[in-house]
Chain A
Amino acid sequence: MKTGVSIFTTAFVALGASWLSLVYAPFQQLGGAKQTIVLQSTDIYPLQRTGEATLGAQVYRANGCAACHSQQVRQRDVATEITLTDLGVHKPVDFADFVKSLSELPELALYKNSLNANLKDWNGGLPKTLWRGTDKDIAAEMADRLKSVGVKSETRIVATGVDIARGWGSRQSVAADYLYDTPVQLGSLRAGPDLANIGVRAPDVNWQLQHLYAPRSLVKNSTMPAFRYLFTVQKIGAQPAPEALVLPKEFEPADGFEVVPTAEAKELAAYLVSLKSNVPLYEAPFTPIIPTK
């Protein structure tokens, strides 16, 4: 470090190396990313947002919603889960024998204790999660054994982790989820809950609108500020406006007035409802639960 040139060169090389690896390389690797196919289907993912939802993303940006909300689900692991669906001729008590039969195989014997603990207080209610682990072969073996004694079971792939246990998503967020977001608003603080799947949890636009106008009318103890400036309080005309919010008593405006969402509020609600990253992908697999009719 004897001359200005040597400082300049050192700094240039150091920053250049970091630029190449953390700017240029990701750009090369991910910059040309395209849509992918949803696992075990022909659907394309992600689809571009349309109409109001696109505009809503800009309302989300303008009001800095990402300051308090993340849009990213984290996961710990991917596990295989065996759920009993039909016991056939067997009774819950018989499973003690089943567990005993497992101890013949050394690799299955490892799970004997956890299986026993799981089945201890089981009253026979179905479906019952029998086993969850990361080893696929063990799961297959176990499923085979159940089948051979006439017990029906389902083997599912599930993502595990705290965010998933909180119901914030069924799998981790991956790069593909953000393909069409500009700007991508991942957020860095969870002063409020994660919104990566808010469209799955609260798909009702009216719920979203009411929640924006008066959060505490729907979520007790919510710390979210009310966004009343996204709504207009107006005198009720000859007929109440069709889009006026239906609010609980204590949140209603003065008599003869109604609360009408502005265009911005409607766009924001449409955007929130569009936030869904709940399809299985190659890099984030899980077996979706098909709702029983």
Chain B
Amino acid sequence: MNPTENKTFCASEIDASCRVPLLALFGGAALWLVAGLALGTAAVMTFHKPDMFADCPFLTFGRAQAAANDLLLYGFAMPAALGVMLWIFSRLSQSPLALPIVPVAAAHLWHLGVLIGTVAILTGESTGQTWLEYPRVAAVLLFAAFLLIAITAVATFGLRKARELFPSHWFLFAALLWFPWIYSTANLLLPFNHLPRGVVQPIIGWWFANNLIFVWLTLVGVGVAFYFLPKISGRPLTGYGYALFGFLTLVFFGSWVGIPQSAPVPAWLPTVSSVAAALAILPVLALALVVKKSACGAGVSCKGGPFCFIKFGMLGFVVSSVLYVSEFCPRYARVLDFTWFNFGVTQWQLLGFATMIFCGAIYEILPRVMEKDLPFPKLAKVSFFLLASGVLLYVLPLIIGGVEQGMKLHHANVPFAEASAVALKFLRISTTGQLLILLGALCLLLNIFVMTIHWKIGLLKQLIAAVTAPLESTEVKL
């Protein structure tokens, strides 16, 4: 039996136990977010000025865009999600984090993996499989780090006082199983061994990408939102039944989506995905209903605070998921496949949903675990408006431009160059959006870094005080 079983902990004790691991996860994550956005902006510059990086292999579109996408997902979204998850688990368990040293080590392994992976892509050592570009060393580091954090999370989960489980628990707990399974399957079969021949490779790649971007991000994003929405508004989550329905339909139907309708594979595969995509509307609607019931009319005036982030993130979830699912309708797919539409939807899922939710959660958690206000609270609010407007300005032109490009491509007598030119016009607007997002991310980075530095200076002062303090005279008793 655990010795701490009968002790009750106050919130500040729980928060303090998360301080070091969360700082390690969030600090690196914010840095990667800025790096990823900067790299993504550099990548699309190629479309504005094609010869810009003609002499610079590291920033050619194919490399920089892949590295940027991976930085947004593996660099920011995942460590941020894991950090938030650890804190939620210890808060829901009403117990300090179990094994607090493990996630600290894991965070460093994770960030090392992302660094190695990014450098590898930029130097041309990418594996060439979408979302699995990181070479073996980096993939192993990420996998090990995830397992370590999952162990901590499960151990903290086991310490909980109340046996009852909340909707947040289902989503976050399932996410802990989901990632190791899909990541190991995809890595072992694709870049490590190249076991399957031919089109089996992209099939597994699509399965992985869908389970990662659609299912996993939904699990963690919605899990986090379902914790914070009731907490900030001070009302319990309404629509327990809808939440359960949403969870079950998401894991059972959502995981079958992903095979493009035009894929050169046996016809049953795209058909299965298409049916699953139609059914995957159900969890999106059910979860949207829960959010609407819990968030609307809550009377929280957030003015750019965490509540705004999470509300905007959930709105992004609903819209981007509906658009994502529509990619698998054969009728639309004929026009939308191979256009900027799909690219824009993925960016919306990554930035407009996951990034918004986790930024909000970080702004909410940080002052608590540091027991100190944010150094630049105004900047935090400004960053909401920057991120929100940036995301819309970034993804909407891509999506609209993608539809227009698709319509042009769909008519064989429209020259290819004309279709590309249409998309280019929209790309010019979307790059402005990217710059706004980048500014917003810089605000987050600044807040976390200044906070970390203050904390480290505080530690140093304590240390100096402890060293220079006059020694208590102790008598040696014989």
B-contacting residues of A (Cβ < 8 Å)? 1-4, 7-8, 10-12, 14-15, 17-19, 21-23, 26-27, 29-33, 61-68, 70, 72, 74, 162, 165-166, 172-193, 215-216, 219, 221-229
Contacts and interface: CB of A to CB of B under 8 A. Distances in A.
B258 interface: yes
A30 B265 contact: yes
B51 interface: yes
A3 B170 CA distance: 9
A184 B201 contact: yes
B197 A179 contact: yes
Nearest to B266: A29
Nearest to A183: B128
Q: List the 4 shortest-distance A-B pairs measured between CB atoms, nearest first.
A: A64-B62, A165-B412, A62-B124, A18-B255
A18 B60 contact: no
8 contacts: A15-B177, A18-B211, A23-B189, A64-B61, A162-B411, A172-B264, A183-B194, A188-B342
B244 A1 contact: yes
Interface residues of B, number: 89
B411 A63 contact: no
Interface string B153-192: 0100110000111000110011001100110010001110
Interface stretch (B20-28, B365-373, B415-423, B462-470): B415-423
Interface stretch (B202-210, B231-239, B310-318, B446-454): B202-210
Contacts of A226: 50-51, 54
Contacts of B421: 221
Nearest to B158: A4
A63 B58 CA distance: 9
Contacts of B204: 22-23, 26-27
A175 B173 contact: no
Majority secondary structure, B binding face = helix
Contacts of B154: 4
Nearest to B171: A7
Given A10-B248, A26-B203, A68 B61 contact: yes
A178 B198 contact: yes
B60 A225 contact: yes
B252 interface: yes
A67 B177 CA distance: 30
Contacts of B185: 19, 23
A70 B338 contact: yes
Contacts of A21: 256, 272
Given A3-B165, A11-B178, 10 more contacts: A3-B163, A7-B170, A10-B174, A30-B265, A63-B60, A162-B410, A166-B412, A177-B264, A215-B50, A225-B60
Contact of A61 (B55, B128, B342, B423): B128
B389 interface: no
Contacts of A63: 57, 60, 62-63, 124
A176 B182 CA distance: 26
Contacts of A22: 203-204, 206-207, 256, 258-259, 269, 272
Interface in B78-132: 124-130
Given A10-B248, A22-B203, A22-B207, A67 B61 contact: yes
B340 interface: yes
Contacts of A183: 127-129, 190-191, 194, 201
Contacts of A222: 50, 417
Contacts of A190: 338-339, 409
